[in-house]
């Protein structure tokens, strides 16, 4: 590739890099900020994500049934947070090593941790990490528009992944292209 072609490629890379940066600035801002917050979620003193508390025993033979614990979690949700909240569960997270069962709800980002042996409420907390993750991966739009099929998340992550790949290529060429031209210039002088 001659110097003129390399310079043309550098100008094209600069235009593509600049256009993508301008067009996707807000989305990359969301991705970077939410990524930082997600990286810190377990080190946020329970602000972003509640820590996992310990129950009274790790002996699962002494644990209450999941149905009983679920009933306690639902009653706690309605008594401690709001009776209007849905009891639809996203997941039940049993932690045998901690003697605890965590109930995470689907539509409102709350969790309730119970001592698995006696049903004592260990914590009732908001899971801000789930909200942040939904913004980070674009699924917040699927929730907002109730798509149910993840189409916004798929589109969002595809566009941003492709853009990041293009940024990497054009950024590399913006760095390496001038060095290559400089090397060729120095060879001709020598």
The residue ranges of every structural domain in the chain are: 1-48+127-190, 50-126
Q: What is the pTM of this model?
A: 0.79
Helices in the chain by DSSP H: which ranges?
3-39, 66-80, 128-137, 139-145, 151-189
pLDDT tens digits for range 71-120: 999 999 999 999 999 999 999 999 999 999 999 998 899 999 999 999 99
pLDDT tens digits for range 118-143: 999 999 999 999 999 999 999 999 98
Going by their DSSP bridges, the two strands 110-115 and 89-95 should be labelled as unpaired
**Phi, psi at 100, each rounded to 5°:** -135, 150
pLDDT at 177 over 90: no
pLDDT at 151 over 90: yes
Please, which pLDDT band fits residue 181 given cuts at 50, 70 and 90? Answer: confident
How many Cβ atoms are within 10 Å of 156's Cβ, its own excluded?
21
Closest to 78 (Cα-Cα) out of 48, 130, 46, 121: 121
pLDDT tens digits for range 14-40: 899 889 888 899 999 999 999 999 999
Higher pLDDT pick, 88 / 180 = 88
């Amino acid at each position: 590739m001659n110097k003129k072609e390399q310079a043309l490629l550098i100008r094209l890379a600069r235009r593509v890099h600049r256009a993508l940066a301008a067009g996707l600035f807000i989305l990359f801002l969301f991705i970077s900020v939410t990524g930082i917050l997600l990286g810190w979620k377990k080190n946020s003193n329970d602000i972003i994500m509640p820590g996992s508390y310990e129950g009274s025993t790790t002996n699962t033979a002494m644990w209450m049934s999941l149905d009983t614990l679920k009933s306690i979690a639902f009653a706690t949700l309605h008594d401690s947070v709001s009776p209007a909240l849905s009891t639809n569960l996203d997941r039940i997270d049993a932690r045998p090593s901690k003697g605890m069962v965590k109930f995470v709800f689907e539509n409102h980002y709350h969790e309730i941790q119970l001592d698995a042996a006696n049903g004592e409420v260990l914590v009732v907390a908001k899971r801000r990490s789930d909200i942040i993750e939904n913004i980070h991966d674009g699924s917040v739009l699927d929730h907002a528009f109730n798509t149910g099929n993840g189409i916004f998340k798929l589109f969002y992550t595809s566009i941003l992944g492709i853009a990041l790949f293009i940024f990497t290529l054009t950024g590399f060429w913006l760095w390496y292209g001038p060095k290559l031209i400089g090397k060729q210039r120095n060879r001709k002088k020598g």
